[in-house]
Structure 1
């Protein structure tokens, strides 16, 4: 439908962005070209390459501790990244038993680099693993399809790879439901699925207080979405011929439902420009690049999510089966459970995430925590001052106690 046309426009805009950058180089710091770096970012709605995490160190105490990034496991649709600290460099006074943390990033239209600040904060506590989703346009048809159940099985695989007994799992937004399902499947066969599970701003029970996005999803049939929003990847991408929900649709939907986040990124950039803060300018440009790093989702995953999570609420109703196995959150008993919501979240409705507390009825009250963060929007759950100053400290205290 629109995919090939959008790609043609992107290429045209990238050329304009390249000319803007060339003009800035030719004219140096001439005032007329102030903000040309911002202009090229504005003109280019999707980076030609995904911005790297580029986390070379993390500050613990007063020392910068080197961080090494490697690939721990991979499939055609997802890469498991491992950010490892050089433990010998950690100050002895801060060498409490380190944690292993798995961040399950949402497969919701953005690359996982959007969680860079989340990774940086959690590296203060231990090594961090992260599910980094591959753009479906880059996955050959020979790799097969990828649905919601495949997401669950992938998290289960990664937990077995890492060693689930000692790991603290953090699931963000759309990742909450498949992550909870994966841990429930492990618990159902007698395995210890994790040390703890933290669910942040995710649609566990979409019957509760649906937002505008959820109401739109629930008021249109799955077949309507298939006819209207699914497109075919064109050449020259490796996934040419694959049916996908294009990332530019999701980017437009999020921008329409929650424009404040992009406005804030723009405001931070111009504030740094006014203060001649080179570090702030670079940080703002990096964050805008991360925000613009969208990806395509395989048709099956997108439509499965609509049907299972938004239309039929199979997790909340106890009717979800994955690979023929019942998803039984009540089988979880040994782990600690934390749920986090923001009062100003316009993407995930109030109580939708906290609903996991009732579903996981086998967990002792002493191993539960429900956090509702005042004046916190969706993005504030994993980036910005609410995340840094309130949520991250509260979650890590809970881990240590539990």
Structure 2
């Protein structure tokens, strides 16, 4: 009886949330043009170049020069953490200055038929590895953010272990490579809550009426409730929007509205993906302990030897603890010192790593300089 009641409550909450999502609308990248340094508008094209039932690889291209030279390729690994990939629009827009950008867009689990199978964190690694391999690792720069840092590093290591070309560079920002270091409230909760508690309280099956009917998910409405518990973030968005209004900054107003929409429509996540991530990253710490096996093979970070490695942390990051991302350097023991760098940004929180003034004024200029240097270093190797 209790289980039936819980199911009915889940279905009711799920339906109300989906109605609200339709009202907010589906967040979009909305990047139709960028501008050159001289202010000339350049059209941006977007195509799907690879896909699985769970993820699409989008190619953003803008020709900012008149010749037919090939622009560098950069793959942006977005976090599979419930937010739509469009949350990274500022990152994509900036990166288009110098690169063709390939973006992972994870699909709402409510829209994935049960027949497509399951998706756990190991499958996430294999998906990224397949995309990287298809783009040509030796001429590819990769930027991974938040949750995506762990599978991206594992995928890079698997490519290196295969004997083929390594990634040209890998930048990891604000991710729990080693969640044992300065654990945050999020990390502690993930470690302490039992699998049974999570399954009973935080998952349910997609109701009839959706392509993914019957799929067990961690639903968006629970993620939205969790985000609502961060009032400082919500107040900050409101104040920022009001500042744009007072200045008559139309572009700023549009950006603020887009950000609100991005955070108002979390995606359903496959329940097994969340459960396996908690187990691998926050309970057993398999990557930093050298115990993680993906598709039967041990993930060996010591196979990375030529990839340029950059790690970036925000000093005020309350989601990913201090030194959790920088820990990658101690694990990738065979990457030479000239090929690595680590940066901690003062007065920068988790979201500042990929949005707002911190991204545009500090993170992106720093990343742009290093990419230019590392691309030149590869040409001289």
Matching of residues 22-101 of structure 1 within 5 Å: 44=20, 49-62=25-38, 63-89=40-66, 98-101=71-74
* Structure 1 residue 367 corresponds to structure 2 residue 339: yes
How far is the alpha carbon of 1:87 from its aligned partner?
A: 4.2
**Cα-to-partner distance string for 1:115-160 (whole Å, 9 max, x where unaligned):** 0101011111110000000000100011011111110000011011
Specify the alignment match of 2:286 in structure 1: 314
How far is the alpha carbon of 1:320 from its aligned partner?
A: 0.1
Matching of residues 199-218 of structure 1 within 5 Å: 199-218=172-191
How far is the alpha carbon of 1:342 from its aligned partner?
A: 0.3
Correspondence for 2:17 among 10, 21, 45: 10
- Greater alpha carbon shift after TM alignment, 305-314 vs 258-267: 258-267
**Cα-to-partner distance string for 1:158-201 (whole Å, 9 max, x where unaligned):** 01111111111000000000010001011011122311000000
Specify the alignment match of 2:78 in structure 1: 105
- Residues 14 and 221, structure 2, Cα contact 8 Å, conserved in 1: no
Specify the alignment match of 1:331 in structure 2: 303
- Residues 24 and 261, structure 2, Cα contact 8 Å, conserved in 1: no
How far is the alpha carbon of 1:96 from its aligned partner?
A: 9.0
Specify the alignment match of 2:379 in structure 1: none
* Structure 1 residue 259 corresponds to structure 2 residue 226: no
Q: Return the alpha-carbon distance in structure 2 between the equivalents of residues 56 and 146 of structure 1.
A: 32
Alpha-carbon distance change, 370 to 116 in structure 1, aligned in 2, over 3 angstroms:
same
Q: Return the alpha-carbon distance in structure 2 between the equivalents of residues 160 and 8 of structure 1.
A: 40
How far is the alpha carbon of 1:275 from its aligned partner?
A: 3.9
- Residues 3 and 234, structure 1, Cα contact 8 Å, conserved in 2: no
Q: Return the alpha-carbon distance in structure 1 between the equivalents of residues 204 and 251 of structure 2.
A: 40
Q: TM-score, normalization: structure 1?
A: 0.87
Specify the alignment match of 2:96 in structure 1: 123
Q: Return the alpha-carbon distance in structure 1 between the equivalents of residues 233 and 311 of structure 2.
A: 23
* SS of equivalent to 1:271: helix
Structure 1's unaligned 5+ residue stretches are 15-43
Alpha-carbon distance change, 272 to 386 in structure 1, aligned in 2, over 3 angstroms:
closer
How far is the alpha carbon of 1:302 from its aligned partner?
A: 0.7
> CA RMSD for the aligned pairs?
1.8
Q: Return the alpha-carbon distance in structure 2 between the equivalents of residues 303 and 246 of structure 1.
A: 13
**Cα-to-partner distance string for 1:5-34 (whole Å, 9 max, x where unaligned):** 1234336xx5xxxxxxxxxxxxxxxxxxxx
Correspondence for 1:379 among 332, 351, 355: 351
Matching of residues 196-345 of structure 1 within 5 Å: 196-256=169-229, 258-345=230-317
* Structure 1 residue 157 corresponds to structure 2 residue 130: yes
Q: Return the alpha-carbon distance in structure 2 between the equivalents of residues 274 and 148 of structure 1.
A: 45
Alpha-carbon distance change, 46 to 358 in structure 1, aligned in 2, over 3 angstroms:
farther
* SS of equivalent to 1:316: coil
* SS of equivalent to 1:315: coil
Alpha-carbon distance change, 259 to 165 in structure 1, aligned in 2, over 3 angstroms:
farther
How far is the alpha carbon of 1:352 from its aligned partner?
A: 0.3
Alpha-carbon distance change, 252 to 363 in structure 1, aligned in 2, over 3 angstroms:
same
- Greater alpha carbon shift after TM alignment, 105-114 vs 288-297: 288-297
Q: TM-score, normalization: structure 2?
A: 0.92
Q: Return the alpha-carbon distance in structure 1 between the equivalents of residues 244 and 370 of structure 2.
A: 36
- Residues 36 and 64, structure 2, Cα contact 8 Å, conserved in 1: no
